[in-house]
Amino acid sequence: MHNLKSWIDHSPVVKKAYYFAQKTHAGQKKYNGQHFFDHVVKTARTITEWRLDGTAIAAALLHDVVDHASVTLEEVRKEFGEDIHFLVSGASNLRTVNYRGEKGELENIRKFVLATSKDIRVLLIKLADLLDNLRSISDRMTPKEERHAIIAIEIYAPLAYRLGMFRLAGELEDLSFPHVYPQEYDWLMNNIKDRYNERERYAQMIKPLIEEKLSKNKIKLQKIDSRAKRYYSLYRKLKKIDMDLESVYDLVAIRCIVPTIEDCYAALGVIHKAWQPVPGRIKDYIALPKENNYQSLHTSIYGPDNKIIEIQIRTPDMHNLAENGIAAHWLYKQFPKDNYLGKQVKEKNGSWVSRLKNWRKGSSGSNNFIESFNIDLLIERTLVLTPKGMVVDLPQDSTPVDFAYRIHSEIGHSCIGSRINNENKPLHTILKTGDVVDILIQKNKGPSEKWLDFVKTNFARNHIRSKLRQQKKSFLPEAKEVDLRISVEDRIGLLKDISETISRSHINITDHRVSAVGRKGVLKNINIRCSVTDKNKIEKLVEKLKSLDNIKSVAYRLVR
């Protein structure tokens, strides 16, 4: 079944999801005026084009019912089962992430996207959702549409490239480019239009010459076409070469599709015999595939009129894998086991997580996805969200206390409880990736020594120990009570004011003595014994007493 209608007609779960979404989204419109139901149908249609299974198609139809309608995840579970609930929940988690445009956030958000998408179908549903959002972007871009464009170009397009989904990645970038970098886009459009047209005319002129050469050498050419370099891809390349358009040889490339790997190398030989290759421009991605399994032969030649043009040679199955990337994971079941596509997809895409593990970390820098992300580090990480959608990166088995200290040390010191996914949970709860964590605090409360038994991070542990040491220093462990000696000038109500000040400080008076000084007994000494051993409390009380009218001096001593 290659289209959504066929799935609706033949799959009970897809049919049920279709009509459930239609009823749930009835009358609902998005921020750009598009009907919500039209959006989820287009998202599901893209998932169908990628040949995913019925569970994924049903989840795509339902991906907005929780966040934009009055349906709970528990209702989705009851109506459609655990698998669809898992996919819808995962897609909802990805929507919770809030990207504020700060470069430092990118690495954590990319990690969160991957860690949350333990089932690749979650990520593919998100990509299909984002693709339709960008295709339907309005002329007057709303803040939400601007956010879609930013996360597409900064987060999801680089990820799509790493999954081998070149066509999707390129479209996400080109749809976002004019909105995220409008000035750069305008400059590019003003400078390349004529060059593109010129290079396309040259490609059309040389195509029949290539066909003729291959035909004479009995190499069957199944397809030959020209491929214009995508705008954002070209812009990225130009930034590396000082915006020198003359140095870009693959503005328009010719792509030759031949039946077998042997034909690929034979065709390369024929082309090199007919036209001189450009030194250093021959790349064998068949023998040495790219990290995302891309395979093809690339060469640049001096064609007619000594103009340079790039030529790519590949088999139909290589082309399919290059276009669809990891989405081809579901295709291999449709081919015999000895078929190239079946072998390649089964061997290389059978487990997307294992593929990610095998990616080698590239050079330093935070803008390139693989450069800012090492999957080996992700395996032992937990990525959770604040209520405002900020991603917090924690070690595995972290608790709300670890989370609180990661936000701020004072939040950690003051925490008295936590809410995880809107449910009250104890502070020793183990957090899971995707959890939304809210910390309950009480001012002037210090950490508990018991927290050291379950916190995971050294960061939290060190802050707890430091605060506990401060608290111990503020106590007088050998003292049981404190004697206060207060020199005063008598006035009406003075004893009452002193008594109330001590009481408001939550200190108990165990004994007191008042003595007159001088002939008329005007000056007095008041001695008060208190049951307090907290040095900070005592010193704060002394300052409060000194601020009272007619208080001359206040001193204290320890009673052991």
Using a 10 angstrom Cβ sphere, with 0-12 exposed, 13-18 middle and 19 or more buried, the burial of residue 251 is: buried
Look-up: residue for tokens 């809210």? 438
Instruction: Quote the percentage of the chain above a pLDDT of 70.
Output: 82
* DSSP per position, 241-289: TTT-GGG-S-SEEEEEE-SSHHHHHHHHHHHHHHSEEPTT--EETTTS-
The pLDDT value recorded for residue 76 is 93
What number is the average pLDDT over the span 351-377? 35
pLDDT in the model for residue 349: 41
Residue whose C-alpha is closest to residue 550's, from 497, 482, 483:
497
Confidence of residue 352 (pLDDT cuts 50, 70, 90): very low
Q: Does the pLDDT at position 343 exceed 80?
A: no
* pLDDT tens digits along 40-73: 999 999 999 888 889 999 999 999 998 888 889 9
Instruction: Give the pLDDT score at 358.
Output: 38
Confidence of residue 345 (pLDDT cuts 50, 70, 90): very low
How large is the average pLDDT for residues 117-123? 77
The H or E element spanning position 495 is helix 494-504
Domains of the chain, CATH where assigned: 4-176 (1.10.3210.10), 183-334 (3.30.460.10), 381-473 (3.10.20.30), 481-559 (3.30.70.260)
Lowest mean pLDDT among 177-186, 319-328, 348-357: 348-357
* Rounded average pLDDT over 241-254: 80
Q: Give me the pLDDT at residue 361, please.
A: 33
Beta-carbon count within 10 A of 216 CB: 10
| CA neighbor of 411 nearest in space, from 399, 400, 420 | 400
Mean pLDDT of 310-314: 96
Residue 64 to residue 48: CA distance in whole angstroms: 17
How many other CB atoms are found less than 10 A from the CB of residue 297? 23
CB atoms closer than 10 angstroms to residue 23:
11
Higher pLDDT, 463 or 258: 258
Q: Tell me which of 297 and 344 has the higher pLDDT.
A: 297
Q: Taking the mean position of all CA atoms in its chain, how far away is CA 560?
A: 58
What are the tens digits of pLDDT across the range 14-47? 999 999 999 999 988 887 778 889 999 999 999 9
Beta-strand pair 415-420/423-425: antiparallel
Mean per-residue pLDDT, 276-300: 88
Q: Residue 360: pLDDT above 50? A: no
Residues 185-197: what's their mean pLDDT?
A: 87
- What average pLDDT is seen over the chain? 81
58 CA to centre of own chain: 24
Pick 427 or 466 by higher pLDDT: 427
Position 104 pLDDT exceeds 60? no
Burial state string for 512-531 with b = 16 or more CB within 10 A and e = fewer than 16 = beeeeeeeeeeebebebbbe
Tokens at 33, concatenated:
């005026």
Instruction: pLDDT band for 362, please (50, 70, 90 cuts).
Output: very low
Six-digit token string for 553: 């001096």
- Could you give the CA distance from residue 71 to residue 25 in angstroms, rounded to a whole number? 10
Report whether 91 contacts 128 (CB < 8 A): no
